[in-house]
Chain A
Amino acid sequence: MDDMTVFQILASKFQYDFVRDALLVGVLIALCASLLGVTLVLKRFSFIGDGLSHVAFGAMTVAAVVGLKSNDMLLILPVTIIAALLLLAAGRNRKIMGDASLAMISVSALGIGYLLMNRFSKSANVSGDVCTTLFGSTSILNLEDYAIWLCIFMSVIVVGVFILFYNKIFAVTFDPDFATATGTNANAYNIMIAVITAVIIVMAMKLVGSLLISALVVFPALSAMRLFRSFKGVIVFSGCLGVFCSALGILISVVIGSPIGSTIVVVQLLAFIVCYMIGFFTKSKG
Chain B
Amino acid sequence: MVQLECNDVCLGYDGKTVTEHLTFSVSKGDYLCVVGENGAGKSTLIKAILGLNPPISGSLSFQGLTARQVGYLPQHTPVQRDFPASVGEIVQSGCLGKSRLFYSAAQKSEAAAQMERLGITHLKNRCYRELSGGQQQRVLLARALCAAEDLILLDEPVAGLDPKVTKEMYEIIADLNRSGVTVIMVSHDIAAAVKYATHILHLSHEPLFFGTKTAYLQTPVGRSFADIGEEG
Contacts and interface: CB of A to CB of B under 8 A. Distances in A.
B15 to A, nearest CB: 15
Nearest to B126: A229
Contact of B127 (A168, A171, A181, A230): A230
Interface stretch (A70-78, A113-121, A172-180, A264-272): A172-180
A170 B93 contact: yes
A228 B84 contact: yes
Which one of A42, A179, A234 has the highest number of Cβ atoms from chain B below 10 Å of its Cβ? A42
B89 A170 contact: yes
A42 B84 CA distance: 9
B66 to A, nearest CB: 9
Interface of A: 42-44, 164-165, 167-168, 170-171, 173-175, 177-184, 224-225, 228-234
Given A181-B52, A182-B147, A174 B83 contact: yes
B141 to A, nearest CB: 12
Interface in B82-137: 82-86, 88-90, 92-94, 96-97, 99, 101-103, 125-127, 130
Nearest to B78: A44
A184 B86 CA distance: 21
Contacts, number: 91
Nearest to B153: A181
Given A42-B79, A167-B101, A180-B52, 8 more contacts: A164-B101, A167-B102, A179-B93, A181-B51, A181-B68, A184-B97, A230-B85, A231-B89
Contacts of A183: 68, 97
30 contacts: A165-B101, A167-B93, A170-B93, A171-B93, A174-B83, A174-B85, A174-B90, A175-B80, A177-B52, A177-B72, A177-B74, A178-B72, A178-B93, A178-B147, A179-B96, A181-B50, A181-B72, A182-B72, A182-B96, A182-B97, A183-B97, A224-B84, A229-B130, A230-B86, A231-B83, A231-B84, A231-B85, A231-B86, A232-B89, A234-B84
B70 interface: yes
B47 to A, nearest CB: 8
Nearest to A180: B52
B143 interface: yes
B96 A171 contact: yes
A243 B88 CA distance: 28
Contacts of A168: 96, 101
B70 to A, nearest CB: 7
Contacts of B67: 181
A174 B143 CA distance: 12
Nearest to B148: A182
Contact of B80 (A167, A170, A171, A174): A174
A231 B86 CA distance: 7
B85 A167 contact: no
Contacts of B94: 178, 182
B77 interface: yes
